[in-house]
Structure 1
Amino acid sequence: MLLSSRPPRAAALLAAGACLTLIAAAAPRPAGPLGIGDRLYPYLGNPGYDVQSYDIALTYSGDNRKPLDAVTKIDARTNERLDRINLDFSHGTVRSVEVNGARASFATSAEDLVITPDRPVGPDQPLHITVRHTSDPMPSKKEEVGWVRTKDGLAMANQADAAHRVFPCNDHPSDKALFTFHITAPKGLTVVANGLPLTRTRAGATTRWSYRTVHPMATELAQVSIGRSAVVHQRGPHGLPVRDVVPAKDREALQPWLDKTPGQIAWMERKVGRYPFENYGLLVAGATTGFELETQTLSLFERELFLRSGYPKWYVESIMVHELTHQWFGDSVSPRTWSDVWLNEGHATWYEELYAQEKGHQPMEKRMKAAYQRSDAWRAAGGPPAAPKAPAPGEKISIFRPVVYDGAALALYALRQEIGEPKFEELERTWLHRYQDSTATTADFVALASEVSGRDLSGFLHAWLYDPKTPPMPGHPDWKVQPVQKARAARKQPVAAAREELG
């Protein structure tokens, strides 16, 4: 994700990690919210099962103020005995639930849908859940997203903790799954979703569109676009399908930007290896969101980024590369906990800056030095890169702070300074190969950095990722950190500051 100069509406993020032990069937636990204990989003995700796939059917009336009729089918496997099953779901009406073909009772508790099957499901058993519900595109709170209402329809922005506002799910990136979408919409509208198209069937005044992912995906990365759109097809490296979804009326004006994508993919492949998914493209939305977002295979962008005058071309292209980079860092290799989000945003910022240096003649070292000056203030405000400050009790948190963007890229710069460019590039490629289509942690990255470099880097990286104060920069003993009280610019998101300077 990349935040803009407008107040971001994307909110906080999820949960990860350990499983809770459910109380035996003889004394069923209360029907309350669970969560898997993520320190930043403790009530997201659910213990007891592993989702294998989602099948989501949505029916759109043509009015983006009205709830969509929906059926969500979940195929999972239990990893313990379950007398109750919790799903994350908070912004729709549940009409019925079935578990393994039998009707099940259900209740809502906070942001959970709590299901009681007619009989407990044993460990290591298949779990098939069907939920008939509505999906409401109207916001209940200003800062939360899920559905984004565009000028001509809808799109999704589920990062970090908003997928469960669209469909029932295990809403945490640690539980990735395959997705199939079936969207019925009025004739004349175009529907695009993650993955590859399966079928398109017209029936009277409506058309049903189906898509399926080839690779597993975190719930936060799901994307469905409905609108009066043009779909522009190109070919990327080694024949990769590139499909861009843009407002039909803006196709001609946007084409010069769309033409950049195949070359940007080729540039990234030269840096880190082959693109990891079945296709890619831009989804340009007629909406004011305050951010760009790396939904898997179809990155979401505001129309304004491309059509507003005043942004240099190198700057817009570097933002495009930021979201493209996430297809490797964050989408293919996903964070196991939300404290690991620096691995997403730090790498996306790193390659954004590298692209700006190589293509736009913007020295990376200059931006790194500026980030170093502000780093202590960022750490004081939001915590160090790999340990963002947790929310206050009863509150949510936005973890998309400067410290996980430029602050995390600064840690990567320090690592490259320490081990040298060849070893750093080997580390990046090995990381993506080893953890492709999976999840990984900060500890995994530290261990691999030590393995690739041939020496123990745990102390060096612990200081850069966890210490409240910024360590000395290797190779730059002259770089100084500003006192916290003087680093006023640190209160801005890095992208916000850049856009204000340019605009």
Structure 2
Amino acid sequence: MPLTSRTSRTRDLLPKAVGPLRRALLASSSLCLIAASGPAPAEPLGIGDRLFPHLGNPGYDVMAYDLAFRYSGKNSEPLRAVTTIDARTTDWLDQVNLDYSHGTVRSVEVNGVPAEFRSAEEDLVVTPAKRLAPGSRMRITVGHDSDPTPGEGVESGWVRTEDGLAMANQVDAAHRIFPGNDHPSDKAIFTISVTAPDAYKAVANGLPLGTVRHAGTTTWAYRTEHPMATELAQVSIGRSSVAHRSGPGGLPVRDVVPSKDRKKLKSWLKKTPEQIAWMERKVGRYPFETYGLLIAEARTGFELETQTLSLFERELFTRPEIPKWYVESIMVHELAHQWFGNSVTPRTWSDLWLSEGHATWYEALYAQETADKPLERRMRDAYRASDTWRADGGPPAAPKDPDPGRKISLLRPNLYGGSALVLYALRQEIGHPAFERLERTWVRIHRDGTATTADFESLASAIAGRDLRAFFKAWLYGKKTPPMPGHPEWRSVAPGEKGAKPA
């Protein structure tokens, strides 16, 4: 939707995004006294995800988040913040668990009434003044600090850049920044506002609602038009430039870059509209209201598909030894996630292969079509390494637990190259036309929702016109890589065998 069509709503929406911050900061001292009285039992809960059982919380479904942050200009200082959660209860609730850690909680209200709260490991346990019935609306307002400084065991969350902050919440770090239901199965609409000194710009997921200028500071507000998982939230605060252009069908494209690098990065940024058009030719219309690149001057070790505003390290675009074709294929990898992972979100962390496998698939397909990097050669190399990858990280749809204290270690090679290899085998098995119908149908029927591996298996079988359960069982859950359809000569090298590639 064009930006101009939203101006009439800015006046009404902006005070809602900004107001809670002012109210909570004024009330925080008295509410802390309430929290300190009358201790109540509190225990951490989760929804039983196989890989991250502590994540998510039972008893409610979040419909919307309103996040308000106040940034001082110093990365060593916590941001004053207010998180407002609108949810619907699905059970009787005497207490409400939120995922939250690495920040001081100042106050909590439930439906406008002060509530008791306590920490329990990585949960914030809230006791409302009265029991909540199933099917009722619930608004929780939390006044808290959002701490950008590293802490013990904290891998991501806020990323401190050379000139400000950005977010990197995958795989389970959103609750280091704001309280919520930090599991991909519970998507919601986000409104985000940031107050920062005038020298800074703040950009977040979605489209701008407007700005409010104060003495020496500016408040920027944004809202998503589509639901989003907490891991995909993004806020950029920095001495940045925002470049605007149009994508296919007039799609607003905006890129956020360090101001000093705007000219240097321009040639890369200009590639995005055609890359969007390329993906649309493959799988259908872009699923969101805007897109763009956030190029941060920071060392993260990864790029990240945050919804509508993908995070990239500056070095990816400035190091001369990195081949041009490789940079472009990584841009497409994060773009492909907007369909596979963001619009259609894996319902559990074990379904992550659906996200990373598809992004790697389109990354490789783009390199073949634009840079003469044969897909078959890449898949043959992946097949050769596949048994080693499976031994190291587990099969694609049953990955091993992450290493202790390193949750991001879940993201092993078999979730990328190994999962793309499954898609190549599937295309070999059912043929190119059926595979392309599957891809388009998948993103269409699950748009804005969550989906499981079983959903993908069922749809693939329906489109192929035959039962593919045995195929998927072998390829997604087997300890050994099955024979490749159409390539019986391909061979996977076992771990430790001569010629095996390290994972």
Q: Same fold (TM over 0.5)?
A: yes
Which residue of 1 is the match for residue 61 of structure 2? 50
Match of 1:66 among 40, 52, 77: 77
Which residue of 1 is the match for residue 425 of structure 2? 414
Per-residue displacement from partner, 1:417-451 (whole Å, max 9, x unpaired)?
A: 00000000000000000000000000000000001
Q: Residue 284 in 1 paired to residue 291 in 2? A: no
Q: Residue 310 in 1 paired to residue 321 in 2? A: yes
Q: Residue 235 in 1 paired to residue 246 in 2? A: yes
Which residue of 2 is the match for residue 83 of structure 1? 94
Matches within 5 A, 1:182-193: 182-193=193-204
List structure 1 segments (4+ residues) > 4 angstroms apart after TM superposition.
Answer: 391-397, 487-490
Which residue of 1 is the match for residue 216 of structure 2? 205
CA distance in 2, matches of 1:280, 1:481: 39
CA shift, 1:29, in A, is 9.5
CA shift, 1:489, in A, is 6.4
Deviates more, 1:78-87 or 1:395-404: 395-404
CA distance in 2, matches of 1:489, 1:274: 41
CA distance in 1, matches of 2:405, 2:274: 46
> Residue type matched to 1:226 in 2?
I
For residue 156 of structure 2, give the secondary structure of its aligned residue in structure 1. coil
| Aligned 8 A contact 2:402 2:410 in 1 | no
CA distance in 2, matches of 1:392, 1:303: 28
Which residue of 2 is the match for residue 364 of structure 1? 375
| Aligned 8 A contact 1:199 1:211 in 2 | yes
> Residue type matched to 2:172 in 1?
D
Judged with a 3 Å threshold, the aligned counterparts in structure 2 of structure 1 residues 151 and 274 are, in CA distance, closer, same or farther, namely same
CA distance in 2, matches of 1:396, 1:314: 30
For residue 200 of structure 1, give the secondary structure of its aligned residue in structure 2. strand
For residue 462 of structure 2, give the secondary structure of its aligned residue in structure 1. helix
Per-residue displacement from partner, 1:208-243 (whole Å, max 9, x unpaired)?
A: 000000000000000000001000001000100000
Q: Residue 453 in 1 paired to residue 453 in 2? A: no
For residue 139 of structure 2, give the secondary structure of its aligned residue in structure 1. strand
CA distance in 2, matches of 1:391, 1:146: 18
> Residue type matched to 2:102 in 1?
H
Which residue of 1 is the match for residue 133 of structure 2? 122
Match of 2:481 among 450, 465, 470: 470
Which residue of 1 is the match for residue 182 of structure 2? 171
CA distance in 2, matches of 1:222, 1:303: 20
> Residue type matched to 2:480 in 1?
K
Which residue of 2 is the match for residue 4 of structure 1? none
Matches within 5 A, 1:254-273: 254-273=265-284
CA shift, 1:406, in A, is 0.3
Question: Which structure has more RCO (C-alpha within 8 Å, separation ≥ 6)?
Answer: 1
CA distance in 1, matches of 2:260, 2:498: 44
**Percent of paired sites with the same residue:** 68
Which residue of 1 is the match for residue 161 of structure 2? 150
For residue 409 of structure 2, give the secondary structure of its aligned residue in structure 1. coil
Which residue of 2 is the match for residue 41 of structure 1? 52
For residue 226 of structure 2, give the secondary structure of its aligned residue in structure 1. coil
Matches within 5 A, 1:17-32: 30-32=41-43
Q: Residue 486 in 1 paired to residue 493 in 2? A: no
Match of 2:150 among 135, 139, 144: 139
Which residue of 2 is the match for residue 21 of structure 1? none
| Aligned 8 A contact 2:242 2:256 in 1 | yes
CA distance in 1, matches of 2:299, 2:435: 38
Q: Residue 216 in 1 paired to residue 234 in 2? A: no
- Consecutive unaligned residues of structure 1, counting only runs of 5 or more, are 1-27, 493-503
TM-score for both structures, normalised by structure 1:
0.91
Q: Residue 96 in 1 paired to residue 90 in 2? A: no
Which residue of 2 is the match for residue 194 of structure 1? 205
Question: How many matched pairs?
Answer: 465
| Aligned 8 A contact 2:171 2:408 in 1 | no
Per-residue displacement from partner, 1:243-265 (whole Å, max 9, x unpaired)?
A: 00000000001000001000000
| Aligned 8 A contact 2:171 2:407 in 1 | no
For residue 347 of structure 1, give the secondary structure of its aligned residue in structure 2. helix
- Consecutive unaligned residues of structure 2, counting only runs of 5 or more, are 1-38
CA distance in 2, matches of 1:41, 1:399: 10
Which residue of 2 is the match for residue 348 of structure 1? 359
For residue 187 of structure 2, give the secondary structure of its aligned residue in structure 1. coil
CA distance in 2, matches of 1:442, 1:56: 32
Per-residue displacement from partner, 1:315-366 (whole Å, max 9, x unpaired)?
A: 1000000000000000000010000000000000000000000001000111
Per-residue displacement from partner, 1:257-291 (whole Å, max 9, x unpaired)?
A: 00100000000000000000000000000000000
TM-score for both structures, normalised by structure 2:
0.91
> Residue type matched to 2:159 in 1?
V
| Aligned 8 A contact 1:374 1:487 in 2 | no
> Residue type matched to 2:251 in 1?
L
| Aligned 8 A contact 1:90 1:111 in 2 | yes
Which residue of 2 is the match for residue 498 of structure 1? none
Judged with a 3 Å threshold, the aligned counterparts in structure 2 of structure 1 residues 40 and 318 are, in CA distance, closer, same or farther, namely same
CA shift, 1:393, in A, is 8.2
Deviates more, 1:140-149 or 1:122-131: 140-149
Match of 1:108 among 98, 115, 119: 119
CA shift, 1:301, in A, is 0.2
- Greater helix percent: which structure? 2
Which residue of 1 is the match for residue 6 of structure 2? none
For residue 129 of structure 2, give the secondary structure of its aligned residue in structure 1. coil
CA shift, 1:313, in A, is 1.0
| Aligned 8 A contact 1:173 1:335 in 2 | yes
Judged with a 3 Å threshold, the aligned counterparts in structure 2 of structure 1 residues 219 and 37 are, in CA distance, closer, same or farther, namely same
Deviates more, 1:40-49 or 1:482-491: 482-491
Q: Residue 437 in 1 paired to residue 435 in 2? A: no
